[in-house]
Structure 1
Amino acid sequence: MKVVIFSEKPFSGHMNIEGALRKEWADLESAVLEEYDAVCLIGSQSLDYPLSLSMEVCSKLWAYAEKGGLVYAEMIEAFDFPTSRLLGWKQDFPATRRTMEKLRASRDLGRLKEGALLEWGGAMQQGFSFESEVLLSFGPYGDTHHSVHEAESARPAINVRKLGEGTVVYAAFSLFSSPSPEQLRPYSSWAMLLEALSDRTGLPCVIGEPSIKLAGDGGSEQALACNMRWFERSGILPVRDGSEGVFENIHSVTAKLSKDRRPDCHAHTALMFHLYGRWSGDATYEERSYRLMDYLFREGYQDMDPDSESYGFFKWYQFPGAHPHQIFTDDNAWACFVLLYLARSTGREEYRRRGILLAQALLDTQRRDGLRPNVLIRSEMKTLGREGVLELEPSLNPHFESITHAAYIQAYLVTEDEMYLDAALTGTRTLLAKEAAYKFMYSRTSGLTRLLLPLGYLIGHDGTGEIEAALNRTMAYLMEHRHASGGIEEADNPDPQRFGKEDAGVYIANGEGIADQLYTNNFLLMNSWEAWKATGNPAYKELYDDVSAFMRSIQISSEDKRYDGGWMRAFDLNKREYFGNNGDTGWGPYCMESGWTNAIASAGLLLGLLDESLFA
């Protein structure tokens, strides 16, 4: 087939039309279309400068199609009657950027079945079809893989019409001109779509190799080396030696560095670099660990004012005010946990002093039953005082509670002060007694993964047997959701209707085959290891080995430094590619978190190589 493409500017070519001759848009006026079997018009990616067709060009294309030619057009402005009648699609509004819309197959398209959902990155146009068959629509779908019904507000995305002896295909979104090939998700479904479009129209559509591939399991040592490379080359470290801290993530939607700096991400990353330095014998990694924490101290993240209501607590991020504002329990407890572990491991007095100051702040604001709210607001603390906040409702969420109990264990190991051990035991027992009332953010699997961390150590200080029974119960539940690949599949979504906001799950219903590496499998590496070290239960070691192998097998290999050697949040266990529900606008399925995913995953692998416990 002899094909010509007219476009104003070069486009990515990741999804391409094989063997096509490319010409400038201005050549369309004078081109002899009958020399070609197919004519492709790739419109503008610029929302400010749309491309449109003159009456003369419309007439020319109409005549060409009527005589048997194939016309493919994409992102052409069609408010006028001549263009809209040619395309079988009329535009309602100016073009806009896709936000959370998804594409849906309107009918079976070869191997891509009716109702299948896809994502892309780029522009789209809202309009309606007439005298055309709609192959693909876009709309506000909250489902993950498949939607049985088309959304009421769905708009045509690709339509096909017969015109005389020929065919006109119109795409009201950036198909071949999609600026970000890594945002074609799930990639396997896009390959099916291109195959079906080629079969249906004769247009020789092809799709390139995915930019995000799986490295495969080469063992823990290789996985760690690759992840160190990700930290050093992706841009996540503003300065390679750690002296300017670490950025939070590569954003799920924009694929750009999110340049927020958070103490919890610093703590996770400092822990990983410390462990890697010790395991590898390369002291530069331990120095990098110290510089990360020193950055927080130097920049005033911890409130060191004894007269302040938030004395001892850390800011959640580089908050512009002098004192912390939102004081999240888990973020501060992670900073406390790592500071005190590092104090024991390195002997640095500054870690000890600041860690105990934070442990005391947590203890002073802890309810008598050992639980606490998920967040304190400094202005509320100013009104209520530290005594007053003890009456606030607890979170009842292991995501927040259990890491605090683990931090108290570290404080006990540093000081040998029984009040910290008592706080950990009291809080854990109270939480376990309220199991029926637990609250979860993303899934029961992710929440119970977080519950595990302090339990193994506390078994040795609990004469009732309650904590050991809870550990066994929790591990049994998680192992019920172990996939054949070794990873834990997300299950029991507490809020399936939550979509389009921060802090949503990356799946909707059980059985979707989605694994979460931001809140579940990443932490399970560390927490199942600690359960094994505390109990010697071989089933727990088996789980650790399975999750380790799974995480190694899904590490990313890419020519793009933003991705190479890292892990994203959501992985489709059945399709074997990164994909998940995009309902979380802040930490969505393709987020690459510095601390919470990549550092914690590597730390879990390192504990296995070092054969030691964080509580030893």
Structure 2
Amino acid sequence: MLHVSGPEGSDLVTAVSLSGVTLRQHATPEAALSAAVPGDAVALLAGQYPNQPQGLSPAIWSRLADAGVRAYVEYPASTPPVPSGEPVRTAWERLVVSSDFFGPTLPSGRILVAHGCTYLPMQATSPHLVAARVAGYDEAVYGLPEAVAPLLFQHGELPALIAASGLSYFIRGRFAPAEDWATVWRAILTWLMPAEAMPPLSWEATVRPSFTEREPLPRDAERQAFGRGCDWYYRSRVLIHPTWSNYLAPKFARGVESGPSVPGYLVNGDGRSGILEGFSAEIDHEGRQNQRYVIRTDCISESAMALALHGEVTGNETSRDVAEGLIDYALFDSLIHQGVRADPYHPTHGLLAWGVTSWAWERAFYGDDNARSLLGMIAVSAVLREPRWGESICRALLANLRTTGALGFRGSRIDIPDFEANGWRHFHDREIVNPSPHYEAYLWACFLWAYRATGYEEFLRKPLAAIETTMAAYPEGWALTNGITLDRARMLLPLAWLVRVDDTPRHREWLMAVARDLLESQVECGAIREEIGGPGQERSAAVESNEAYGTNETSLVQRNGDPATDLLYTTNFAFLGLREASRATGDPELHAAEDRMAAFLTRAQIRSSAHPELDGGWFRGFDYRRWDYWSSSADVGWGAWCLETGWSQGWIASVLGLRALGTSFWELTADLELGQHVPSCLTQMSLGDGGPYRPRPRRRPHLAEGCPYDLKGEPDDRYPDVNRASLTDGQEWPPNAPERWVGWWGTPMVVTVDLGEVRALSRAGAVFLVSGDIGVLPPVRLRVQGGREPEARDWSAEVRPPAAEPGDRWVHAIEVTCAAPAPARFLTIQADPAPELPAWHRSAGLAAWLMCCELAVF
């Protein structure tokens, strides 16, 4: 008999009950021990894990010594004679089998994951399970490191197994792999009840694939998968509503990019405030998955594409409206395509920011992210038959084209400081070679599509040259990212569209060579087996040490042969590539491979009633042998269980939508023409000289222009008023020229200006810089005093501007003035800074900056 104490409905009780083993549940450890007779077993589970270790009285430990029972004791505050340490939450540590306790099916060195694992530091000489940072797919390939934490071991003096963590949360906590956790618990129960023949344990996972590998699919399974994949956008609570600002803005301000899901009381948005990136791979002990608090341009456009197709296939008007709102947000209503990118003199003019969550995202321009963003925008434009985005799309295509080198390669990433230091022409003229399909191929595809849509020859010349160079280097000369299958999958799209644009035997040969090599990695179920490249092929090699686990972006496999498929980097893009290639060539082999992949993705789609926010999604990692969500999760940002609104969800759902419509991306967008926008875009983009960026001020005439002034209290040395004329020169410098602004850190700005004569005035004040993100805030009070003589104060007026809000993050200029009630010659303008940065700021409590570039006297 097994006696269990702990929470009602514990996972152990559920699994054991399903197996047919007899058990009794008790309210307390004392009750469980009192009911047990010699030969019985007790399991004392932690009911308040991980917040409160289980406090067991000395009487319970004494009773265990002489009751004639075996015990499993979980998360105890002490294990006599040694007290436990303070709880520790694992970060990159996984669980590793460290003995032969579990039998030959789970040998020493095997890796498991207990999501949200918190453990109590304990002493143990021969533990069966330890927590350790190890590299490997399902075995610790470099062995155990020196630092390990015992998690399951036999007490040295008592007939008890001690668990330093909440191992009984294996169902709700989505511990993985599930089949290995069944082995763990069967071994524990066998040790507890050696006289019983312990049957295998099984249970229904709370998050699982929609279909098994072999069960027949319903006739409409693929259409259902498409619908569920698009409905996921509404269940997952990723569509931002304006009312979410108070929840999200403090996280943006502190640079927090991942955390608990958006609360259920907040309503979904309509796309016009953007969309979150998705879910990270971090899961807690209850199986709840962290959300990614990032607003990425590619995710916005790719999600919009899926929802637009959903509207087209099903007639769902809400999805069409949300898709429209998302593209409006990306192009018009956020900084993605605005700010310096809207300045024709700035070298980034026309480009799309990587994201808008913080400066780290706004400053960066990845070619592949710009490309996928553009593809999403193009698709939505075609599906919704909406022309108003055409000029912006054309400008963005030309902006990426002019920052692509002379040989057709752009490189992986260019940032705003690089652009400003060098100018766009530097990148246009440089002769770099970067045969990396991950970073380059989708821009080539965009350019080939743009050539069809505009007839502009440069859109053909550059990708053709780069593709020829890349295919000449295939495969050994490719600069791989996570592995060779990823880059083959990415290369399919431009090769398929090259056949569309210029159908020659050579171009077909290129396409079929890459496609057939990729299909060598397609397994029977339709998934693409992930494969890494050789040494020296950049990040494509295996994780090289235990210490390197979790320190870089990397593959889901440790070595070739690990049975993982990647739905974020490989299979998703292979699905699109095969769709476009099969439609471009009519090749039956490619069409059959596409069908197999569609069936696999239909089966692997997440099904979960316990976690509706995940139902209908696709995780990154999938083990097609175990038929479970599992792989190495060494990637520093996007681990095995991450779920991306764009890369995975957006493209998988969109290709299923294209299949439902019986078309391809190329055919769907055939009627979209952009040629009429090319001349005006080129004219606008030629305003600058292409050299290093020189910020240009805006002329700002006012009554104090050219007038002398005195400062009471010097500005900070980092932002000085060099020539004592900056504040009245009639020029308002843009926010991205901070060296032209005058700054005070924690002290007020006090300026007395001589207008030269008594002037009739309406208002007076100054222009201030604001950016909550970097701690530059508006003044809390602006006070203006006027008089006819230098020391006179004939009148006084003041205004208190609105306080900075958490969402007031972007660098921008504001004018703050107050009414001037009477004429004056001398004005004293005092701006008082915020006493300190507010609680929502990542540097809360420090002094706030006050930045001014020009007085404003009218």
How high is the TM-score relative to the length of structure 2?
0.65
Pairwise CA distance, 1:263: 1.0
SS in structure 2 of the partner of residue 232 of structure 1:
helix
- 1:316 corresponds in structure 2 to 354
SS in structure 2 of the partner of residue 579 of structure 1:
coil
Specify the code of the residue in structure 2 equivalent to 1:261.
Answer: I
- 2:110 corresponds in structure 1 to 116
In 1, Cα distance between equivalents of 2:506 and 2:435: 18
In 2, Cα distance between equivalents of 1:564 and 1:175: 25
> Is residue 129 of structure 1 aligned with residue 129 of structure 2?
no
Post-superposition Cα deviations, 1:462-514, rounded to whole Å, max 9, x if no partner, equal 47644322211111111111111111110124120253034211111111110
Would the aligned equivalents of 1:514 and 1:573 in 2 still touch at CA under 8 Å? yes
Aligned partner (choices 222, 225, 229) of residue 227 of structure 2: 225
Pairwise CA distance, 1:409: 2.1
> Is residue 356 of structure 1 aligned with residue 394 of structure 2?
yes
> What is the aligned-residue identity percentage?
24
Specify the code of the residue in structure 1 equivalent to 2:461.
Answer: D
Would the aligned equivalents of 2:41 and 2:192 in 1 still touch at CA under 8 Å? no
Specify the code of the residue in structure 1 equivalent to 2:204.
Answer: E
- 2:65 corresponds in structure 1 to 65
Aligned partner (choices 433, 442, 467) of residue 472 of structure 2: 433
- 1:87 corresponds in structure 2 to none
> Is residue 274 of structure 1 aligned with residue 274 of structure 2?
no
Aligned partner (choices 133, 136, 139) of residue 140 of structure 1: 133
- 2:278 corresponds in structure 1 to 249
Would the aligned equivalents of 2:239 and 2:275 in 1 still touch at CA under 8 Å? yes
Pick the structure with more helix per residue. 1
- 1:157 corresponds in structure 2 to 151
- 2:576 corresponds in structure 1 to 526
Pairwise CA distance, 1:517: 0.6
Would the aligned equivalents of 1:232 and 1:240 in 2 still touch at CA under 8 Å? no
SS in structure 2 of the partner of residue 183 of structure 1:
coil
Against the structure 1 CA distance between its residues 33 and 506, is the aligned structure 2 distance closer, same or farther, given a 3 Å change threshold?
Answer: same
Specify the code of the residue in structure 1 equivalent to 2:488.
Answer: L
Against the structure 1 CA distance between its residues 210 and 314, is the aligned structure 2 distance closer, same or farther, given a 3 Å change threshold?
Answer: same
Aligned partner (choices 32, 41, 45) of residue 42 of structure 1: 45
- 2:168 corresponds in structure 1 to 176
In 1, Cα distance between equivalents of 2:179 and 2:204: 11
In 2, Cα distance between equivalents of 1:142 and 1:430: 36
How high is the TM-score relative to the length of structure 1?
0.89
Aligned partner (choices 12, 23, 29) of residue 27 of structure 2: 23
Relative contact order (alpha carbons < 8 A, sep ≥ 6): 1 or 2 greater?
1
SS in structure 1 of the partner of residue 159 of structure 2:
strand
SS in structure 2 of the partner of residue 327 of structure 1:
strand
In 2, Cα distance between equivalents of 1:226 and 1:460: 32
In 1, Cα distance between equivalents of 2:555 and 2:605: 21
Could you tell me which runs of 5 or more consecutive residues in structure 1 were left unpaired when the two chains were aligned: 85-89
Against the structure 1 CA distance between its residues 307 and 557, is the aligned structure 2 distance closer, same or farther, given a 3 Å change threshold?
Answer: same
* 1:396-435 pair list within 5 angstroms: 396-435=435-474
Would the aligned equivalents of 2:132 and 2:149 in 1 still touch at CA under 8 Å? yes
Pairwise CA distance, 1:313: 1.4
In 1, Cα distance between equivalents of 2:394 and 2:382: 12
Would the aligned equivalents of 2:152 and 2:161 in 1 still touch at CA under 8 Å? yes
> Is residue 299 of structure 1 aligned with residue 301 of structure 2?
no
Would the aligned equivalents of 1:160 and 1:169 in 2 still touch at CA under 8 Å? yes
Pairwise CA distance, 1:556: 1.4
SS in structure 1 of the partner of residue 389 of structure 2:
helix
- 1:191 corresponds in structure 2 to 182
Would the aligned equivalents of 2:347 and 2:423 in 1 still touch at CA under 8 Å? yes
Question: RMSD of aligned C-alpha atoms?
Answer: 2.7
SS in structure 2 of the partner of residue 71 of structure 1:
strand
In 2, Cα distance between equivalents of 1:140 and 1:396: 34
Against the structure 1 CA distance between its residues 53 and 277, is the aligned structure 2 distance closer, same or farther, given a 3 Å change threshold?
Answer: closer
> Is residue 605 of structure 1 aligned with residue 656 of structure 2?
yes
In 2, Cα distance between equivalents of 1:198 and 1:213: 25
Specify the code of the residue in structure 1 equivalent to 2:478.
Answer: Y
Aligned partner (choices 448, 452, 468) of residue 508 of structure 2: 468
Tell me whether 526-535 or 13-22 shows the greater mean CA deviation. 13-22
- 1:537 corresponds in structure 2 to 587
Against the structure 1 CA distance between its residues 371 and 210, is the aligned structure 2 distance closer, same or farther, given a 3 Å change threshold?
Answer: same
In 2, Cα distance between equivalents of 1:310 and 1:490: 36
In 2, Cα distance between equivalents of 1:459 and 1:2: 68
Against the structure 1 CA distance between its residues 543 and 47, is the aligned structure 2 distance closer, same or farther, given a 3 Å change threshold?
Answer: closer
Against the structure 1 CA distance between its residues 607 and 48, is the aligned structure 2 distance closer, same or farther, given a 3 Å change threshold?
Answer: closer
In 1, Cα distance between equivalents of 2:641 and 2:130: 23
Specify the code of the residue in structure 2 equivalent to 1:272.
Answer: A
Post-superposition Cα deviations, 1:52-88, rounded to whole Å, max 9, x if no partner, equal 555x33xx4234333422222122234x8x333xxxx
Post-superposition Cα deviations, 1:520-560, rounded to whole Å, max 9, x if no partner, equal 11111111010011111111101111111111111111111
Tell me whether 551-560 or 148-157 shows the greater mean CA deviation. 148-157
Would the aligned equivalents of 1:325 and 1:378 in 2 still touch at CA under 8 Å? yes
> Is residue 13 of structure 1 aligned with residue 20 of structure 2?
no
In 2, Cα distance between equivalents of 1:134 and 1:66: 24
Would the aligned equivalents of 1:310 and 1:323 in 2 still touch at CA under 8 Å? no
Specify the code of the residue in structure 2 equivalent to 1:482.
Answer: Q
- 2:736 corresponds in structure 1 to none
Q: Which of these two proteins has the greater Rg computed from alpha carbons?
A: 2
Pairwise CA distance, 1:108: 5.3
Pairwise CA distance, 1:412: 2.0
Aligned partner (choices 386, 410, 413) of residue 372 of structure 1: 410
> Is residue 447 of structure 1 aligned with residue 442 of structure 2?
no
Count how many residue pairs are aligned between Structure 1 and Structure 2: 595
- 2:706 corresponds in structure 1 to none
In 2, Cα distance between equivalents of 1:323 and 1:65: 60
Would the aligned equivalents of 1:373 and 1:392 in 2 still touch at CA under 8 Å? no
Pairwise CA distance, 1:416: 2.2
Pairwise CA distance, 1:155: 3.2
Against the structure 1 CA distance between its residues 177 and 541, is the aligned structure 2 distance closer, same or farther, given a 3 Å change threshold?
Answer: closer
Pairwise CA distance, 1:206: 6.1
Pairwise CA distance, 1:439: 1.5
Would the aligned equivalents of 1:513 and 1:572 in 2 still touch at CA under 8 Å? yes
Tell me whether 566-575 or 226-235 shows the greater mean CA deviation. 226-235
Aligned partner (choices 597, 605, 608) of residue 555 of structure 1: 605
SS in structure 1 of the partner of residue 81 of structure 2:
helix
Against the structure 1 CA distance between its residues 112 and 388, is the aligned structure 2 distance closer, same or farther, given a 3 Å change threshold?
Answer: same
Pairwise CA distance, 1:242: 2.6
Against the structure 1 CA distance between its residues 460 and 229, is the aligned structure 2 distance closer, same or farther, given a 3 Å change threshold?
Answer: closer
Would the aligned equivalents of 2:120 and 2:165 in 1 still touch at CA under 8 Å? yes
Against the structure 1 CA distance between its residues 369 and 465, is the aligned structure 2 distance closer, same or farther, given a 3 Å change threshold?
Answer: farther
Would the aligned equivalents of 2:230 and 2:310 in 1 still touch at CA under 8 Å? no
Would the aligned equivalents of 1:340 and 1:356 in 2 still touch at CA under 8 Å? no
Would the aligned equivalents of 1:276 and 1:285 in 2 still touch at CA under 8 Å? yes
In 2, Cα distance between equivalents of 1:361 and 1:319: 22
Pairwise CA distance, 1:101: 1.4
> Is residue 590 of structure 1 aligned with residue 641 of structure 2?
yes
Would the aligned equivalents of 2:406 and 2:431 in 1 still touch at CA under 8 Å? no
Pairwise CA distance, 1:394: 4.8
- 1:575 corresponds in structure 2 to 626
